[in-house]
Amino acid sequence: MTGQGTMTGKVFNGRYEIKDRIGIGGMAEVYRAQDSTLGRVVAVKVMLPQFAADPSFTQRFRQEAASAANLQSPYIVNVYDWGHDDDTYFIVMEFVRGSDLKTAIQQRGAINQRKAAEIGSQVCQALTVAHNQDIIHRDIKPQNIMVQPDGNVKVMDFGIARAKNSVNDKTSAVLGTAHYISPEQAQGKDLTAASDIYSLGIVLYEAATGKLPFDGPDAVSVAMQQVKDEPTPPSAINPDIDPDLEDIIMVALAKNPQARFATANDMRMALNDYLAGRPVTLPGGAGFTSARTQMIGAPVGVNTAAATAVMGGVAPVDGTQAMPVMHGGATSPSATGSFQATSYRDSHTAPKSKKPLIIAIAAVLAVALIAGIAFALAGGGATGEMVDVPNVTGKTQPEAKSELERAGFELGVVSSTFDENVEPGLVISQDPTGKAAKGSKVNLVLSQGDETVSVPDFYKMTPDQAKAAAEEVGLKAVERESGYSDSVEDGHIMDQSPSAGSSVAKGTEIEYVVSRGTELVQAPNVIGSTEEEAKSKLQAEGFGVDVRHDYSDKDKGTVFKQDPLNDKVKPGSTVKITVSDGPEENEVPDVSSGNMSESKATSTLKNAGFKVSTDSAYSSSVPKGNVISQSPSGGTAVPGSTVTIVISDGPEPTQEPTTPTTPDEPEPTPTPSPDDTDPGADTPDDPDDAQAPAN
């Protein structure tokens, strides 16, 4: 079984549907979920069973989740909701894309120191908001600082933060991660805002150098170093670090809380001064300036044996956990305010005296010897009576501890390992089993659930590349959907969930989104519109407009060309439009000299951009086939149109005049003149005889 499988598909409060697990910590698992009410993706943090079953924890959880929900800052992960469902406590938070700062440091080592300062400044702003509401984070570490794609950060896990004086822990233990807790936190003292400032100092130290100031094989040894050891100056690890940034880090790491920055806002201003190139203001006055940053001497008399006893054995180093209370045999300088001032820049290479270390070891051995003798005299430990050891496999640690103590045994070393067949937080095995001496210790091994791996970064990979990268670490890559992207080419991955660097169980499905490239859109067709109408329509849809003018036979002022016209383009592209200036006015060639043939005149006019119309007429002066006249006349400037030319048909032909006759009528007989009268002829007396028959 997988930790993810136990929750996938579950719906909290009838609203938050669990999709997949995106992370696991020492106290909770985090899942990606869908908020059905608001239709958005959220992150749901579900408390592990062993904590959900602890009444004191759940009481504090309810109060602190409500306090965290009131924190509003662009640099704090928003807490939307929290509740209790089916004996499980959960917190609903903003789903943040990006990767945590720890992953970035692990992948790159030391990061750019200016970027580290920018991150520190933003974290300081987040802490200022919380501290102003009397909320101490108590677990500032790079795992809780999400770096988003835009470079800004979001601080997470204010859900385990505690409002001052809210709920007292019965064991006086404190929550935190050994590598990043403050000295006062390791000693179980009341915490102030200065504790978060110390933890942020360690984060900046690690970011600027790529290394932690204190490290060890287990949480106890690391916590002891936080209390008593001075950190190696960052410049000894990274010689390129700016002295001002180094001073800011070392002030934040002062053992005495009063020697640190008074507020997170003071630290933010110092970081901003460094980023702006201004003189950096540090606490401590003129004496501090002359000696640069002053380091605080180590406290003495820390009771190592007592600390180990509180831890119950070796604890994991990296996770958030309940840290031991470290009571010293002598008063700590962090309590009295007294400390030895030394210039770390001048003295860090000098050999240290071994005398204090020998004294400390002797003191620890003496305390351990005395404690052992006293314990033996008091009759502690095993009695020698052999009794049955309860079988506590499958139980939570608190349940197992309670059952063992009822049977007369003590809880011994508690370790953990991955086991896909056992729920996280439950006992896998115990030693001894069967019978054992009453009063002896029983060691437990707890399940961490499935083995977790870091999610590869699929960004800009092809699906095949992503599947290969996922399979290499025991994960599965599956396509969720596709979308448009201006920065990722078509067919490559633009997003994924869980995000790169997240810790997930082996076998988890990593969903990815494939880019379809830039989304193309079609510009509106503005041909026939006026210039102003076209510009207004294109700009309203987000396009740029390139206006040009040219002659055309279209109405002046109207758009007659557009590029692109019907093709899809990127949003915001520029569209070229051409506005008509009306027909172009050309000078008409003179072809009417009488010496130009029709074909030559036509060719000349067409070459000049005119159309040609022809007519004809007789001319006695212009040879047949040549141009007699034209309209418009030659030399006239007119818009390109039609020129009419008149072609000569030659001279008009001549004709003889004729008298028309009426058909079917006889031709009249001419009347003879008196001179032609025959003397011998008779003059007719009857008028009817005046005309002879037409025979």
In this structure, what CATH number is given to the domain that contains residue 230? 1.10.510.10
At residue 240, the pLDDT reads 93
pLDDT of residue 359 exceeding 70: no
Q: What would the pLDDT profile of 330-339 be if each residue is shown by its tens digit?
A: 333 232 232 3
Same domain, 148 and 275: yes
Backbone angles phi, psi at 171, to 5 degrees: -90, -5
669 pLDDT band, cuts 50/70/90, is low
Q: Do both 191 and 126 map to the same domain?
A: yes
The amino acid at 583? P
117 and 255, same domain (yes or no): yes
> What is the C-alpha to C-alpha distance for residues 213 and 233, in angstroms, rounded to an integer?
9
Please calculate the CA angle 503-504-505 and round it to the nearest 5 degrees.
135
Residue 130 corresponds to which tokens in the numbers above?
């919380």
Establish whether 45 is an annotated binding residue: yes
Taking a C-beta distance cutoff of 8 angstroms, is the pair 92, 15 a contact?
no
Question: Is the model's pLDDT at 369 over the cut of 60?
Answer: no
Cα–Cα distances in Å, from 440 out to 191, 355, 372, 407, 410?
A: 36, 38, 15, 11, 6
Do 574 and 594 fall into the same domain? no
Just list the catalytic residues. 139
Tell which wins on pLDDT, 493 or 381: 493
pLDDT digits (tens, 9 = 90+) for 278-323: 999 898 643 343 334 343 333 333 433 333 333 333 333 445 554 4
pLDDT band at residue 662, thresholds of 50, 70 and 90? low
Interatomic CA distance for residues 18 and 5, integer angstroms: 10
Res. 416 pLDDT band, cuts 50 70 90: confident
Token pair listed for 692:
């002879």
Q: What is the pLDDT of residues 5-36, one digit of tens each?
A: 468 889 998 899 999 888 776 677 889 999 99
* Domain hosting residue 417, numbered range: 386-447
Per-residue pLDDT, 406: 92
Question: Considering only CA atoms, which of 345, 195, 201, 334 is closest in space to residue 267?
Answer: 201
Buried b (16+ CB within 10 A) or exposed e, 671-681: eeeeeeeeeee
The DSSP element (H or E) to which 162 belongs, if any, is strand 162-163
pLDDT in tens, 163-211: 444 444 433 334 567 899 999 999 888 899 999 999 999 999 999 999 9
Same-domain check for residues 90 and 232:
no
**What tokens were used for 164?**
């001052």
Give percent of the chain with pLDDT exceeding 90: 38
Give the CATH number, domain containing residue 34: 3.30.200.20
Phi-psi region of 553 (alpha: psi -120 to 50; beta: other; left: phi over 0): alpha
Q: Total structural domains in the chain?
A: 5
What are the tens digits of pLDDT across the range 76-90? 998 888 888 877 888
Boundary of a domain, candidates 400, 420, 447: 447
What local confidence, expressed as pLDDT, does residue 672 receive? 55
pLDDT tens for 609-618 read 888 999 999 9
Element (H, E) at 605: helix 598-607
Over range 397-419, report the average pLDDT: 87
Q: What is the mean pLDDT of the chain?
A: 78
> Is residue 69, in this structure, part of any structural domain at all?
yes
- Residue 666: per-residue pLDDT: 57
DSSP labels, 21-88: EEEE-SSEEEEEEEETTTTEEEEEEEE-HHHHT-HHHHHHHHHHHHHHHT---TTB--EEEEEEETTE
- The residues with which 41 forms a beta bridge, in sequence order, are 34
Which of 394, 421, 447 terminates a domain? The answer is 447
Q: What is the pLDDT of residue 481?
A: 84
Supply the pLDDT for residue 502: 82
Q: What is the pLDDT of residue 127?
A: 95
Rounded to 5 degrees, what are φ and ψ at 126? -65, -45
Do 545 and 593 lie in one domain? The reply is no
Q: Is residue 534 located within the same domain as residue 600? A: no
Amino acid sitting at position 387: V
Same domain, 62 and 114: no
* Confidence at residue 541, expressed as pLDDT on a 0 to 100 scale: 85
pLDDT tens column, 234-262: 999 999 999 999 999 999 999 999 999 99
Q: What is the CATH number of the domain that holds 418?
A: 3.30.10.20
For residue 598, the SS3 value is helix
Tokens of 690: 């005046």
